[in-house]
Structure 1
Amino acid sequence: MISVKKTNILQILLLLLILNSCKQKNKEAVLSDEKPKDTMPHMEPPAKKLPKLTAQYTNSKKNAIEHFYNKNWRNNSMNGSFLVAQNGQIIFEKYDGMADFRDERPITATTPLHLASVSKILTASAILKLIDAKKISLDQKVNTILPTFPFPEVTIKTLLNHRSGMRNYAYFTDKNDGIWDRHKILTNQDILDLMATKKIGLESRTDSRFSYCNTNYAILALIIEKKTGLSYKNAMQRMIFKPLGMNHTYVFDYEKDKDTAVTSYKGNKIEIGKDYLDAVYGDKNIYSTPRDLLKFDLARNSPDFLSPELLKLVYTPFSQEYKGEKNYGLGIRMINWETGQNFYFHNGWWHGNTSSYITLLKEHVTIIALSNKFTTKTYQVRKLAPLFGDYPFKLGNDEKEE
């Protein structure tokens, strides 16, 4: 009798032990589900901060930049955002004008403006991270990822460096030949479908010459979606915006954001409405601020961004068929002077939005200019480069350091 009781007690204790063990495992599983390991390749903030600038140095640069700003922008009714930083430290920033002239909503440091083609640098960065993580390869044929893509020789590389030979979607959908009904909003998938079914041939033989073309980056956005299993909007959020703390940056969603995004204007303040091309992304349609782009630039120029071999290719000039200083790498414009000095940048223009992103690699300088009221003055910010290094742009006598 006593032996039976002891057996029952042992069985109960054993059962309790098993139940407790299962409960603990379930708890760990729940915790694991709450915080899954993120295997998505993504950009990270730089691990080390660059040296702090002295107050004397900062003030001398600030005064010169302010002279430039007052002469080139303020006196010409600037409407937008402007920032100059070195070593990640903001030397000068200014926010002038209106995000919306109707309700007199001013542009501030947290107002996202349309980046136009500066968006290409961010799209390229996401693609480069996927290449670095071996999710895709630089020389991979596009039709191995997007099976209906009709041009067999086009690779990811020739999309990035604009040597694919494809035609610009803005042109082949704008003709009165039945290819596209301009009353319907065009999407990235529509572009791919049209090229696959409407006999839209190449403009030039693939990799025979450089030809800047927005279609390249619209297709790159589809590749990002295919390889991540996410929408381009969510992939960019997961890979770049969120890990870098770019809290005022987003991909424009036509249906969701068309009535709330910052308006663009002609130079005379006449509003420019949306059209059938405004839903296409990858080549454009990222909204951001100078401070967010500074975070992006610091991460992009950190040693952890890409492997050294791939990073070298990013800044390799690929449009060498004609002799000249102007060139294009993998998602970045450049000027390569005979002196050996190199200047890296990207400009943008969409509707009334103009943008300029400049990264002086050796000097760790970031220059950002964004405007939602059309002006080519945005592109003049390159003239600030000589304040930091040996760049052959000309500053006026009143814009030089005192």
Structure 2
Amino acid sequence: MKKVLLLILAACVYSYANAQDSFKRLDSLFNGQFAAGQINGNVLVADHGTVIYKKSFGYADIANKVLNTDHSAFFLASVSKTITSTAVLQLVQKNKISLDSPFKQYFSQFPYPDITVRNLLSHTSGLPRDKEDIFDTLLKVHPQKKFSYHDIIPALQQSPKPLAFKPGDQFSYSNINYNLLALLVEKASNMPFDAYLKKYIFTPAGMTDTYLSNPQVPQKNNVTYRYLYPKHYYPHLKLADSVPTTTDTSYTIFWGQGNVISTTADLLKFDQALYNNKLVNTQILDEAFKPTILNNKQEVVAGGGVSYGLGWYILKIKAHEKIVFHNGYVKGLRSVFIRNLSKNQTVIILDNAQSGANFITASNAISILDNTPQEKLKISVADKYAKILFESGGDVAGSRLIQMQADTAHYRYVAHEMDYIGNELLNDSYTDKALEAFKVNLLLNPTNPEMYNSYGKALNKAGKKQEAILIYKRALALKQDNKDAKDALAKLEDH
């Protein structure tokens, strides 16, 4: 008996020490990303439903200095598709929907008889990606009309779009697929989509802080504002809604693809409700977590090392583990929801400043839990250089660039990223700053003819014709079939 107690005690001590080590490594990972400006929002990491790390970073409201907290709520963006998928699978379980039935069976006006419910769930329908592709013709005729997801089928009936491929032949991500699935949930349940989610998903899972956004109903005051950098060179975050768009004003509700507002704590409740079969049985969930098989009998490829099931991406690069996930993006926000099904591990990141490295950060959190090597995260030299150049000028930016380029452990320098920054500045008429960026990039890449093309273009725009001619001649000396340089040089010499 004494030996058994000692073994139990030793196991507890080991487990506690291991948890403490994981906490420290996770804290180092996320604090490092925050220091690098790569996270602004809430993170949560859980093992078998027990939270082992959670933290809030940055501001929910920059103008009023309101920090993100445990209670901050975020738009989930396309992570919402996992919830839409769950709703559809519940109705499959109740025999109200069949995965392999044509969608037209439920909506006779739908003009594509070969698209099945499975095609919509797996993004193998061939339908256009977004609402702008569906309503482009109607908006020309009715420019003042506000469209919703209920208008999709009438629009397709009135002006059918050619499918990009035969349903089931390829994978092509489409928000329209999930707008149509929201309509299907409404039809099969005889309930509004938001009411269905509340009754059959949010309430059973205990997700008391989760709901669908509706422009006709005020949001709760714990919803974070969303921020972004309008351009790479812009030094400060701006409210996403203050950055103009050309299409959003023509549309209202497009449920199914996104629009769920939630918290990290509620997403963990959803995660555990799936594990505990409170929402859908194991057999149907297993179907959702399998790679979709195309008409050619091959698995869907949704990116490098990634497949797609029924509402979930499937990570293939860790063959010994079953990892599913979804990420999301909407202007001013990025979300990541990763579930290691083999070990009941969960990582959630909700970021209200659309930080670009969050998926790698979340993957590294899983690696910390597994005690496997992490992917090295490096900051873009070009991105940092652009902000310093815009705010402090060429001399400061140049000296800082030299420091960053030498620090290869923390920074990555990529010539085409610098070239993009220069073109962004040039297109926005910051010609002097563009010249500086192109010149630095050229000096660092003296044998790359494309860098000469860019610098020549900026010199020409600045009115420095003779200098541009010399640069274009050098570009041609490096690459004789350089058409851009030939054409530009011909115009300059004609003048």
Measured against the shorter chain, the TM-score band is: 0.7 to 0.9
Q: Matched residues in 1 for 2:38 and 2:170: separation?
A: 40
Q: What does the per-residue CA deviation read over 1:240-266, in whole Å, with 9 as the maximum and x for residues that have no partner?
A: 111111111110001213696532111
Q: Does 1:266 align with 2:228?
A: yes
Look up the equivalent residue of 2:326 and give its one-letter code.
H
Q: What does the per-residue CA deviation read over 1:67-112, in whole Å, with 9 as the maximum and x for residues that have no partner?
A: 1001112441632111001111111111122222233333221221
The equivalent residue for 1:297 is: 271
Residues 174 and 180 of structure 1 are in contact (CA less than 8 Å); yes or no, is this contact kept in structure 2? no
Q: Decide which moves more: 375-384 or 74-83.
A: 74-83
What is the CA-CA distance between 1:192 and the residue it aligns to? 2.0
What is the CA-CA distance between 1:185 and the residue it aligns to? 3.4
The equivalent residue for 1:365 is: 345
The equivalent residue for 2:357 is: 377
Note the residue ranges of structure 1 that are not aligned, 5 or more in a row.
1-51
The equivalent residue for 1:145 is: 106
Q: 1:178 and 1:294, CA in 2 relative to 1: closer, same or farther beyond 3 A?
A: closer
* 1:386 maps to which of 364, 367, 390: 367
What is the CA-CA distance between 1:342 and the residue it aligns to? 3.6
Q: Decide which moves more: 222-231 or 379-388.
A: 379-388
Q: Matched residues in 2 for 1:180 and 1:284: separation?
A: 28
Q: Which residues of 2 match residues 53-202 of structure 1 at below 5 A?
A: 54-76=15-37, 78-173=39-134, 175=136, 178=139, 181=142, 183-202=144-163
Residues 368 and 374 of structure 2 are in contact (CA less than 8 Å); yes or no, is this contact kept in structure 1? no
Q: Matched residues in 2 for 1:224 and 1:389: separation?
A: 38
Q: Matched residues in 2 for 1:155 and 1:390: separation?
A: 41
SS at match of 2:287: helix
Look up the equivalent residue of 1:318 and give its one-letter code.
T
What is the CA-CA distance between 1:186 and the residue it aligns to? 2.6
The equivalent residue for 2:425 is: none
SS at match of 2:217: helix
- Structure showing the higher helix proportion among its residues: 2
Residues 272 and 352 of structure 1 are in contact (CA less than 8 Å); yes or no, is this contact kept in structure 2? yes
Note the residue ranges of structure 2 that are not aligned, 5 or more in a row.
1-11, 230-235, 242-247, 378-408, 410-495
Q: 1:67 and 1:358, CA in 2 relative to 1: closer, same or farther beyond 3 A?
A: same
The equivalent residue for 1:222 is: 183
Q: Give the structure, 1 or 2, with the largest relative contact order (CA under 8 Å, sep 6 or more).
A: 1
Q: Decide which moves more: 71-80 or 60-69.
A: 71-80
The equivalent residue for 2:291 is: 317
Q: Decide which moves more: 179-188 or 65-74.
A: 179-188
Identity fraction in percent:
27
The equivalent residue for 2:468 is: none
TM-score (normalised: structure 1): 0.79
Consecutive aligned runs of 4 or more in structure 1 exceeding 6 Å deviation: none
What is the CA-CA distance between 1:233 and the residue it aligns to? 0.9
Q: 1:89 and 1:183, CA in 2 relative to 1: closer, same or farther beyond 3 A?
A: farther
Q: 1:169 and 1:77, CA in 2 relative to 1: closer, same or farther beyond 3 A?
A: closer
The equivalent residue for 2:315 is: 335
SS at match of 1:347: strand
The equivalent residue for 2:336 is: 356
Q: Matched residues in 2 for 1:138 and 1:171: separation?
A: 27
TM-score (normalised: structure 2): 0.65
